[in-house]
Amino acid sequence: MSPQPVNTSNARSVRDVVFVDGVRTPFGKAGEKGIYHGTRADDLVVKCIRELVRRNPALPPERIDEVAIAATTQTGDQGLTIGRTAALLAGLPQSVPGFAIDRMCAGAMTAVTTTAGSIAFGAYDVVIAGGVEHMGNHPMGAGADPNPRFLSERIVDPAALNMGNTAENLHDKFPAITKERADAYAVASQTKLAAAYTDGNIQPDLVPVAARRPSEGYALHTSDEPPRPGTTLESLADLRTPFRAHGRVTAGNAAGLNDGATAAVLASAQAAEELGLSVKMRLVSYAFAGVDPSIMGYGPVPATEKALAQAGLSIEDIGLFEINEAFAVQVLSFLDYYGITDEDPRVNRYGGAIAVGHPLASSGVRLMNQLARQFEQDPSVRYGLTTMCIGLGMGGTVIWENPHHADYGKDA
């Protein structure tokens, strides 16, 4: 039988995907003393979705094609297909569908890349993507039941099921990354975040949250709770090393346990133009990669290599880096691989998760928010990337183009 001719009249072409806007709640400390103790996780997401709709009046809610919300622990107030429930609770039309997604720390990043792929394919025009983690309500790993084969068949090192242990393993792998160097990086993160707050670079994307603590009434939260401005090397030097006796990972050079939510609007370039939506970034490429789970923090390196290759770029083309600071050693191993100095001004200009916090599945969009604002402030930079390590031995990287650059869109 001869092959039938292919009907190309309805052939799809890949479309450009743009980052329109992103917001987040202030991040809180997890636990009874945190600002969100007594606040539901889904209500934090709802705040973000409503703020996006308010900030973008040119976007008719009925034009939103999907709501993708990530959570690492998908139960309780983070369960029940949280993308759909949050959409309904936020007052979006019932015609707007939603779903939940999980890739641990890269949940929001994966929500963005998954829906972006659908936009590029033509299935969607406009989406909301983000993530939430209420680590006070859902401590990391609580209720998990790892398959006994992980241990009995030595599929992974048992220590790899604890992220702090994997950070200590990275220190072992790269002895040049000393505790003193990690502490110095952590101090710089705190200092840069404090400066970003002073300069008003963080506040514009924060959604004020009125939260009620048991027996204390309501309070309006407009800034992040975790930062410790004024942190010094001396104050970090004697912190205990909980993952290993005489180790190098401490609460001072690692991200804490946090609560918070993020959300972003993505659209096709055509839909953004049609609706008159702002364009803060254009998605160039993205990639995820796996590594030995026992050195989980090294995941951003192969993910970045893949994303650069897909984009036809080299690391020298990247003018801004937003690297999630799960642990200082994880960022430093990335910088060392590419020959970037610890103090390079392209890296985490506003500080990072060591200072601001890391509510697991929400953090990917925080990185994007900060990169988008830096793009606006620095039109000399054409390309930037957001990258993060991911639990159980993975990494994810997204490369973005700056619409304020003179060569934006050329050779796209």
Residue 1 has pLDDT above 60, yes or no: no
For residue 11, the model assigns a pLDDT of 62
Residue in 37, 138, 171, 389 annotated catalytic: 389
Using CA atoms, how far residue 137 sits from 32, 132, 211, 245, 324, in Å, is 10, 12, 15, 29, 23
For residue 200, the model assigns a pLDDT of 98
For residue 410, the model assigns a pLDDT of 84
Strand partners, 180: none
Name the pLDDT band for 161 (thresholds 50, 70, 90): confident
Burial of 73 per CB tally in 10 Å (0-12, 13-18, 19+): buried
For residue 97, the model assigns a pLDDT of 98
Residue 101 has pLDDT above 90, yes or no: yes
Residue 3 has pLDDT above 60, yes or no: no
For residue 140, the model assigns a pLDDT of 85
CB 227 within 8 A of CB 355: yes
Question: Whats the size of the chain, residue-wise?
Answer: 412
Q: Which of 5-9, 152-156, 408-412 has the lowest mean pLDDT?
A: 5-9
pLDDT in tens, 240-276: 999 999 999 999 999 999 999 999 999 999 999 999 9
Assess if CATH 1.20.1530.20 describes domain 17-134+254-399: no
CB 92 within 8 A of CB 69: no
Name the pLDDT band for 112 (thresholds 50, 70, 90): very high
**If you average pLDDT over every residue of the chain, what do you get?**
95
Rounded average pLDDT over 3-32: 82
What DSSP string runs through 18-41?
EEEEEEEPPPEESSTTSTTTT--H
Name the pLDDT band for 143 (thresholds 50, 70, 90): confident
Return the domain boundaries, the chain. Answer: 17-134+254-399
Residue 13 has pLDDT above 90, yes or no: no
pLDDT in tens, 273-294: 999 999 999 999 999 999 999 9
Name the pLDDT band for 159 (thresholds 50, 70, 90): confident
For residue 334, the model assigns a pLDDT of 98
Name the pLDDT band for 412 (thresholds 50, 70, 90): low
pLDDT in tens, 303-331: 999 999 999 999 999 999 999 999 999 99
148's CB contacts (< 8 A; 6+ apart) are none
**Residue 96 amino acid letter:** V
pLDDT in tens, 332-361: 999 999 999 999 999 999 999 999 999 999
> Is 105 one of the annotated active-site residues of the chain?
yes
Has this prediction a pTM greater than 0.85? Answer: yes
For residue 130, the model assigns a pLDDT of 98
> Is 134 one of the annotated active-site residues of the chain?
no
pLDDT in tens, 232-242: 999 999 999 99
Higher pLDDT, 153 or 82: 82
> Is 138 one of the annotated active-site residues of the chain?
no
Residue in 37, 138, 221, 358 annotated catalytic: 358
What is the share, in percent, of the chain residues with pLDDT greater than 90? Answer: 89
Q: How many CA atoms lie within 13 A of 145 on its CB side?
A: 0
CB 360 within 8 A of CB 370: no
Helix (H, G, I), strand (E, B) or coil at 356: helix
Residue in 37, 48, 105, 134 annotated catalytic: 105
Residue 296 has pLDDT above 50, yes or no: yes
Residue 2 has pLDDT above 60, yes or no: no
